[in-house]
Amino acid sequence: MNGMQYTVLQCIEGANMSVTSVRLQKELETPLDDLAKKLHRSKNWLINQAVKQLVERDVLEEKRWTETLEALDSVEQGRLVEGDEVHQWLESWGKDDELLPPSA
């Protein structure tokens, strides 16, 4: 395989988990072992945490992209809020006479 060396890990741990094999690049093997020892966690746990964070970040990025497209569509349709209105609203936060968010 393209000249790279891999270690294959098979992750099996607890109920409600599937089994997945991972081809771990050779240069990650020692740092992963060291981190597992340092944290007193299994390599399986570390890999699960890394994948979980990656998936959560991807979901968040997709949400942000969707919101960006919606905002651009809103601008194209002329639904805008003046900057001064936004600043007044923000400056009112936490005060007794806090303003409602400005609307387009």
> Does a structural domain hold residue 22?
yes
> Does a structural domain hold residue 1?
no
Got the DSSP string for 2-41? TT--EEEEEE--STT---EEEEEEHHHHHHHHHHHHHHT-
28-59 pLDDT, tens digit each: 999 999 999 999 999 999 999 999 999 999 99
pTM of the model: 0.64
CB of 88 closer than 8 Å to CB of 97: no
Distance CA 27, CA 31 (A): 8
> Does a structural domain hold residue 103?
no
58-95 pLDDT, tens digit each: 999 999 999 999 999 999 999 999 999 999 999 999 99
3-13 pLDDT, tens digit each: 666 666 555 55
Range of the domain at 64: 6-91
> Does a structural domain hold residue 96?
no
- Angle among Cα 45, 41, 44 to the nearest 5 degrees reads 25
Both tokens assigned to 35: 């981190």
